[in-house]
Amino acid sequence: MSVQQTTKSLFVGVTTPRNAVAGDVLQSFRFLGIKVDKLGIPELNSLVRQAITGEKKIVIAGHNLHSLYVVHHDDKMRLFHDQCVDYVHIDGMGVVLLGRILGHPLRRRDRVTYLDWIDPLLNEANERHGRVFYLGRRASICERLPAVLRGTWPDLQCRTGHWEIERYSEDALNDKILSAISKFKPELL
């Protein structure tokens, strides 16, 4: 493949409509070696609701400028996005800007950070008495989080797990965390 062909494949975007969100057409865009979906908070919550009621597992990831860099420099992250991720919301204005420069109809409203999304997502989970498993890195945060969440969302069922890298081998840690997740059967992870 020539440099020109490679460059063209990186920069030329493709808009792919998909049926996904409550019968509406979901627009996806490919550029710079990534795929993003045009998803606002209502669409994201609808995808989560559909997955829970249909008892399906979906993976929703987000792209910002840092993840764009990581996908191009980390084979595991690229493989994760290629093989495991079902939907990708835009998690940064830099991605919106790049998409617009490359001719895609993206706007500020198409960007949703986790800070924007967490309250509406947990509000819906609380209404359903939903089960949320938080996997974190620090034990101190994981120990306090359930009480903090119950203060705002009293009907939310919450469990936590953390990466105790200093205490356990990676294989033992994976088994411990996967066992805790499996026993709890979370709707949101």
Residue 130 pLDDT more than 80? Answer: yes
- Strand intervals (E) in 32-113: 34-37, 60-63, 87-90
Percent of the chain with pLDDT over 90: 71
pLDDT score for 15: 46
**Residue 176 · residue 182 · CB < 8 Å:** no
Query: pLDDT tens digits, residue range 81-103?
Result: 999 999 999 999 999 999 999 99
Residue 4 banded pLDDT, cuts 50, 70, 90:
very low
- Reduced to 3 states (helix: H, G, I; strand: E, B; else coil), residue 1 is coil
* Beta carbons within 8 Å of 47's beta carbon, 6+ residues apart: 20, 21, 39, 58, 60, 87
Query: pLDDT tens digits, residue range 42-91?
Result: 999 999 999 999 989 999 999 999 999 999 999 999 999 999 999 999 99
Mean pLDDT of the chain: 86
pLDDT score for 11: 41
pLDDT score for 18: 53
Tokens for 82, please give them: 């290629």
Nearest CA-CA partner of 25 in 11, 8, 7, 37: 37
> pTM, whole model, 2 decimals?
0.82
Rounded to whole angstroms, the Cα distance separating 19 from 46 reads 13
Residue 174 pLDDT more than 80? Answer: no
Continuous H helices in 29-74: 41-53, 65-73
First to last CA, the chain: 40
